[in-house]
Structure 1
Amino acid sequence: MAPYESDDSTPAGEVEDVRDGRRRAARYVVPVTVVGVAAATIGLVPAFAGSGDPDLPKISAQQLIEKIAKSDVQQMSGTVTISTDLGLPNLGGLEDSLASGALSQGGGQGKGDSAADPSSKLLELASGTHTVRVAADGQDKQKLSLIEKAAEYSVIRNGDQVWAYDSASNQAYHATGAGEHKSGEAAPKDVPATPRDFADHALKAADKTTSVTVDGTAQVAGRDAYKLLVRPKQSGTTVGAISIAVDAKTGLPLKFTLTPAKGGAAVLDVGFTQVSFAKPAASTFDFTPPRGTKVTQGDDLKAGKAGEAGEAGKAGEVGKAGREAQREDTGTTPWGGASKTLGEGWNAIYVFDTGSKGGVPSGSPSEDGAASGFLNSLGDHVTGKFGSGTVFSTRLVNALITDDGKVYAGAVTKDALLKAANAGK
């Protein structure tokens, strides 16, 4: 039966918000929380799977989304391939400079930090193709390993103990008191790496700005799956469609693909190439630092930052996590200014003030030099009622940084950004 649409909409269920560990990286690079920006709301449109291979029972889009929400995979392991193509230029060594500078502002590899701190690895997933091994056993045991050419980076959670190990630098990071994780997740939430991580973002809310249908069936990693197709009804967005392959038996998303409105290769493609729902060996979640490893304790990082801040450090004794929580509670940006959202659904534009004249946030000379080179390689100078500024574009997320320090960003076209900025004046 061919898919059909209805104006009825039903909330997709509450889905935990992923902690914005990439907020620090957005200091210089336009926000690339791809799914969070692009799919803020989803309208559930009843539809039925047509004939296909494999041949599965018919299911509505609403039923399939409910199946995802109710998925309770406690034990799993597998290999995931993550491919990201935002259309960024080849930055060479500049990418590392940007990451180092941005992260040093909020908990990356600054003085007293560790190369094994998970926050220092987030930017690596923003471009190129990566292979990740994942495993989970219940609520308190997860492991994620990023496989590189001549090295491996792993994050392991076992009870309230979290270890991260970077074999390239022979450094380890250790923290205690990890929070709860949803079943089926394989790593702390600041490391989104599985199709479920991204699907949860896309299905966290619902309205009528989106068409959601079941688009047949497929096989992913040897598993029978339904294909959930998410398309914006609004014009002006850079998002073409999101496809989520959902395991027919367990409801676990097996593959997530986001394609741009202009066509071409997927901007984001995350999928299992191998998956098993057998109980992983207990030893999978054991970790002992190899001999000679430099180990940094999470509390040591917080103490080091407070010391560097002098008297201001007294107020920062709550540590990095506390400061981030305060920002979330007050709705402020990393620069301390208020943020707001213009528009809705796929056309949402996020606006905030960096407080920096000239369009580029202030920082150290080395950071500004790296940022300036990067931004100049992407930017187009524009003018309007708002004054003047520069538009920085990727294949999905675009951002306007005005010369008076305001930022307009979203998964929308350049014209939509300029219209929003002009209306703001």
Structure 2
Amino acid sequence: MAANTKTSRKVARYAVPVAVAGVAAATVAMVPAFANAGGPDLPKVTAQQLIEKIAASDVQELSGTARITTDLGLPKIASGLLGGGGIAGGSAAPEDKVAQLANGTHTFRVAADGPDRQKLTFLDGKDEYSLIHNGNDVWGYDSKSNEVFHEKNAGDAADHGKAGDRLAASPQQLAQDVLKAAGPTTDIGVGDTAQVAGRDAYQLVLKPKQGGSTVGAIQIAVDAKNGVPLRVQLLSSQGGKPIVDAGFTKVDFAKPSADTFAFTAPKGAKVTEGSDEAGKGKAPEDKHWKALESFPGLDALTGGANGKGDVKVLGEGWATVAQIDTGAGKGLTDLEKSAKDKNAPKEAKQFMDSLGDKVTGTFGEGRIFSTRVVNALITDDGKVYVGAVTKDQLVKTANAAK
């Protein structure tokens, strides 16, 4: 694939349906577990003490089961782009699977033995998808398609972080990521106690100090004995069920057996070596992206393969909004006209149907692509404003930017 085509694909994924492409990365890193009714009676702790308890935890060995349920409020086209509710099927490359976690409910088994050995197995009915990091090797295996992805030298300094990122779905790492992102715009306190996966836990609660965020709070359940985060729950500022609800249903802190992380490609399996070959058009969502990328109206809005988009960060903390100026000189009106063309792909019409009613302000006119977490305002003059803020806050920010 030519470099300019890759650039076009990257811009298209971020500048227009950003509420689809960005949501996975923004929310899969915020995962909770399941608390029983009526929390245990535990000694009182402060938020600072609880954070220190997490930081001091030296637990590196565990195994268990967990579940992730994600309700982002995505329109139909977005669910298609994320590959539907099933995790099994299609390419075995990790990149093809991660985005699918941003849609529906997924159950998985997890095991860890220090920084060099981790395993996640996602269960989809009788089918499984396993991601294994064992020393210098990273394996991905899809039982439904009988395909294997293999990447060597994952233990090298340059690649070790990449392997860790792919397997960082454990509540421990996810909670650390959330705490690292918390800054002066966040109130941090201690909530009610809970019992998670049969273990007593404290709950650390993070809330935005500012108004206008789509996030109401993030709750992290912390094991009362060893400080391991067992839960992170992402709650909407609009109420209702959690946006993301996942975590341990069962956990054991004993050392997993060595053969847990052993993997040999099954006989007859198709093996793909190296990240350069990963996910070349085989993922369920790729056919949808390919159709959208061939849509001339979308190409005009993103500036095409040679577009030079300008991104500015507006606001701070929970109210941060990205302003993207594609430099194409064309915007929503051109996109709407192209979608009406008889040769336009059906995905283009579905994308247009997913946009909300028109909004106006000092920025001009536009329409909002809305989810429970991320909202994106696409204007008639070719700008895109996107952030984890409410529609009203998004319009307010766009007005102030003019």
Q: TM-score, normalised by structure 1?
A: 0.72
Q: Which residue of 1 aligns with 2:54?
A: 68
1:411 partnered with 2:388:
yes
Give the conservation status (yes or no) of the 8 Å contact 1:122–1:191: no
Q: How does 1:236-275 map to 2 (within 5 A)?
A: 236-275=212-251
Give the drift of 1:335: 7.0
Quick one: distance in 2 between partners of 1:161 and 1:400?
42
Deviations 1:284-326 (A, max 9, x none): 1111111111111115528x89xxxxxxxxxxxxxxxxxxxxx
Match of residue 320, structure 2, among 348, 354, 377: 348
Picking from 313, 327, 331, the partner of 1:358 is 331
**Counterpart secondary structure, 2:66:** strand
Q: Report the residue type matching 2:117 in the other structure.
A: K
User: Which residue of structure 1 aligns with residue 291 of structure 2?
Assistant: none
d(CA) in 1 for partners of 2:386, 2:252 = 39
Give the whole-Å Cα distance in 2 for the aligned partners of 1:188 and 1:265.
30
Q: How does 1:106-185 map to 2 (within 5 A)?
A: 115-178=91-154
Q: What is the aligned residue count?
A: 344
Whole-angstrom CA distance in 1 between matches of 2:28 and 2:64: 28
State whether structure 2 residue 216 is matched by structure 1 residue 230.
no
C-alpha contact (below 8 Å) 1:82/1:193 kept by paired residues: no
**Cα distance in 1 between the residues matched to 2:152 and 2:264:** 15
Cα offset for 1:374?
Answer: 3.1
Instruction: Give, in angstroms, the shift of residue 410 of structure 1.
Output: 1.3
Q: Could you say what the CA RMSD is over the residues aligned between the two structures, in angstroms? A: 3.5
Q: Structure 1, residues 128-158: CA drift from partner, whole Å, max 9, x if none?
A: 1110111111110011111102311011010
Aligned 1:371-386 pairs, distance under 5 A: 371-386=348-363
Partner of 2:269: 293
**Seq. identity, %:** 55
Greater helix fraction, Structure 1 or Structure 2: 2
Contact 2:18 2:376 (8 Å CA) reproduced: no
Give yes or no for contact 2:24–2:98 (8 Å, CA) kept in 1: no
Cα separation, 1, equivalents of 2:259 and 2:356? 49
| 1:37–1:411 contact (8 Å) kept in structure 2 | no
Match of 1:390 in 2: 367
Residue 23 (structure 2) aligns with:
32
Instruction: Label 1:115 to 1:284 Cα distance change in 2 as closer, same or farther (>3 A).
Output: same
Determine the C-alpha separation between the residues in 2 that align with 1:38 and 1:397: 15
Give 1:358 shift: 2.9
1:209 and 2:198 aligned = no
Map Cα deviations across residues 397-419 of structure 1 (whole Å, 9 max, x no partner). 21112233322111211111112
Matches within 5 A, 1:189-200: 189-190=165-166, 192-200=168-176
SS in structure 2 of the partner of residue 67 of structure 1? helix
Aligned pair 1:370/2:347, yes or no?
A: yes
* Residue 83 in structure 1 maps to residue 72 in structure 2: no
Counterpart residue number, 1:339: 311
- Deviation string for 1:158-217 (max 9, x for gaps)? 001001011111111110222589xxx9x7414553323432232114443222111131
In 2, the alpha carbon distance for the partners of 1:167 and 1:253 equals 30
- Native 8 Å contact 2:192 2:202 kept in 1: yes
Pairwise CA distance, 1:29: 4.3
Are the aligned partners of 1:375 and 1:392 in contact in 2 as well (CA < 8 Å)? no
Cα distance, 1:341 vs structure 2:
1.6
Tell me how far apart the structure 2 counterparts of residues 36 and 127 of structure 1 sit (CA, whole Å).
10
Alignment CA distance shift 1:78-1:237 (3 Å): same
Separation (CA, whole Å) in 1 of partners of 2:107 and 2:66: 6
* Letter paired with 1:358: G
Which residue identity does 1:195 align to in structure 2?
P
* AA at the equivalent of 1:348: T
For the pair 1:57 / 2:43, whether they are aligned, the reply is: yes
| TM-score, with structure 2 as normaliser | 0.76
Cα distance in 1 for residues equivalent to 2:61 and 2:379: 48
CA distance change for structure 1 residues 298 and 405 in 2, over 3 Å: closer, same or farther? Answer: farther
1:142–1:191: structure 2 CA closer, same or farther, 3 Å change rule?
Answer: closer
Distance in 1 between residues matched to 2:180 and 2:344, nearest whole Å: 35
- Whether contact under 8 Å (1:38, 1:411) holds in the other structure is no
Q: CA deviation at 1:23?
A: 9.5
Residue 422 of structure 1 corresponds to which residue in structure 2?
A: 399
